Amino acid sequence: MKVDLIRVGNSRGIRIPKPIIEQCGFEDVVELRVENHHLVIVSARQPRAGWEEAFRTAGLSSGDKLLLDIPANQFDVEEWKW
């Protein structure tokens, strides 16, 4: 896809189409870097951001029950190493 560079003061900018923004998961802030003479734009949000806190607030899983009640088979009992 080719896009025009747009004057923004003394700088230049590009418009990123909405479908691309959604597909890339961009929010209000992105990171820019140059790699081998290419401009790379990546989401500033870190993968799994906030997961640690979510796990802590979820509490212990001691009260959880299995959703599937599958009996162990011969392989599970005799050969599988945990």
Tokens of 59: 């509490």
Mean pLDDT to the nearest integer, 22-50: 90
55 assigned to some structural domain = no
* Closest alpha carbon to 33 in 41, 21, 25: 41
User: Quick one: what percent of the chain has pLDDT higher than 90?
Assistant: 48
CATH number at 21 reads: 2.10.260
How are beta strands 6-8 and 38-43 bridged, if at all?
A: unpaired
Q: pLDDT: is 46 or 25 the higher one?
A: 25
Name the more confident of 48 and 31: 31
User: Which strand (E) or helix (H) includes residue 47?
Assistant: none
% of the chain with per-residue pLDDT over 70: 94
Domain membership of residue 35 (yes or no) is yes
Q: Which position has the higher pLDDT, 69 or 19?
A: 19
Domain enclosing residue 36, as ranges? 1-45
- Determine phi and psi for 54, rounding to 5 degrees: -65, -40
**Is residue 40 one of the residues assigned to a domain?**
yes
Whether 76 maps to a domain, the answer reads no
Mean pLDDT to the nearest integer, 24-46: 92
77 secondary structure, DSSP code: H
